[in-house]
Amino acid sequence: MERIAVLTSGGDSPGMNAAIRAVVRKGRHHGLDVVGVQRGYTGLIQGDYLSMNLGSVGDIIHRGGTILRSARCEEFRTPEGREKAVLNLQQHEIGGLVVIGGDGSFRGAQHLTALGFPTIGVPGTIDNDIPGTDFTIGFDTAVNTAIQNIDRIRDTASSHERTYIVEVMGRNAGDIALWAGLADGAESILIPEAPYELDDIVERLARGDRRDKKHSIIIVAEGVGSAIEIGQMIKEKTGEENRVTVLGHIQRGGSPTAFDRVLASRMGAEAVDLLLAGERDKMVAIRNNEITSLPFDTAFAMQHQPDMSIYDLASILAI
């Protein structure tokens, strides 16, 4: 193997650039040519390739987003599109591909492996919803972004002695809500993985009133439903005004935290080593702070589950 390629696909996450940097520089360390594929699988099909050297990835480790950009690609969902992608890779004499993204990106990578092309996945998504790895690139930054904004909301909530409901991202996973909720002392945390009763939330608010608590914060994962609707239901139950804030895509941007930069660097470098070792059809993972890997099929067969001990602890501490 003399030449490898790297692409980012799906939703961007802070730390993707650090992973790209690690792939390029680890590849160059081993004497490989490294090609950047622009706009994900769309660029793979269209041949939108960029030769990358050490300078190509200079001054990007601290930047959010992805310098290779990302795009959805309907054509890649077809057998003809995937065959065209492999043909382009072969014509450019590329021997292996690193795919940085989420579960949808990994399924695309597996399709390429099924056509005989070696691929390795690096988990990059703020949702932290990929089974088989403790953390994904971008999750820590997203949690810290959420916390910083919830801290600001708490200042206003306290000043006006009011309940605020804050909706955070995470798709169908509650990890961002869970970690941000515990870190910010939320009175209630609503996640898809745990059923909730509206009466329990109202009772928590009432307990706070009885001990003269001046404000409350409720965190809602987007996978649970609309925070606006939940806020309205709480208002109908309590008879008191509340305010709703949807943090939205602000959680996907920004400079990655030190944790995400280190994680991305370790994972990107490992992906190159796996390709050079002849591995394929695998994703890089971190477990108990050790970088490892597992087959895509193994990850796909697992179900993501957040650490529910955090949920239990948050409930206890918000008494």
Q: Kindly state the percentage of the chain with pLDDT values over 90.
A: 91
Residues 269 and 176 in one domain: no
Does residue 175 fall inside a structural domain? yes
Q: Which two tokens stand for residue 26?
A: 């680890």
Instruction: Count CA atoms within 13 Å of residue 21 on its CB side.
Output: 21
Rounded to the nearest integer, the mean pLDDT of the chain is 95
Q: Mind listing the pLDDT tens digit for each residue in 225-235?
A: 999 999 999 99
Structure pTM?
0.95
Is 31 among the domain residues?
yes
| Amino acid making up residue 313 | L
Selected residue with higher pLDDT from 236 and 213: 236
Q: What residues are annotated to the active site?
A: 127
- From residue 65, alpha-carbon distances to 48, 52, 53, 171, 256 in Å are 19, 18, 20, 18, 9
Residue numbers of the domain that contains 175: 140-253
Whether 313 is covered by a domain: the verdict is no
Using one digit for the tens of pLDDT, what is the confidence trace for 142-190? 999 999 999 999 999 888 889 999 999 999 999 999 999 999 999 999 9
Using CA atoms, how far apart are residues 194 and 223, in angstroms rounded to an integer?
A: 11
Q: Is residue 87 part of a domain?
A: yes
CA distance 282 to 303: 17
CATH number at residue 123: 3.40.50.450
Q: Are 122 and 260 within 8 A, CB to CB?
A: no
Answer yes or no: is pLDDT of 72 > 90.
no
Confirm or deny that 213 is annotated as ligand binding.
yes
Taking the CA of residue 68 as centre, how many other CA atoms within 13 Å lie in the half-sphere pointing to its CB? Answer: 39
Q: Are residues 163 and 83 in the same domain?
A: no
Is 107 marked within a binding site?
no
Contact assessment for residue 15 and residue 260, using Cβ atoms and an 8 Å cutoff? yes
Q: Is 170 annotated as a binding residue?
A: yes
Same domain for 16 and 127, yes or no, is yes
In the 8-state DSSP scheme, what is residue 61?
A: T
36 carries a ligand binding annotation: no
Same domain, 127 and 213: no
Burial classification of residue 96, based on how many CB atoms lie within 10 Å of its CB (0-12 exposed, 13-18 middle, 19 or more buried): buried
| pLDDT at residue 319, rounded to an integer | 74
Which tokens sit at 240?
């008191």
**Count of domains forming the chain:** 2
Write out pLDDT tens, residues 282-316: 999 999 999 999 999 999 999 999 999 999 999 99
The answer as to whether 187 is a domain residue is yes
150 and 66 within one domain: no
Could you report the per-residue pLDDT of 99-140, keeping only the tens digit for each?
999 999 999 999 999 999 999 999 999 999 999 999 999 999
**DSSP H or E stretch at residue 145:** helix 139-160
Known binding residue 248? Answer is: no
Specify whether 133 is located in the same domain as 169: no
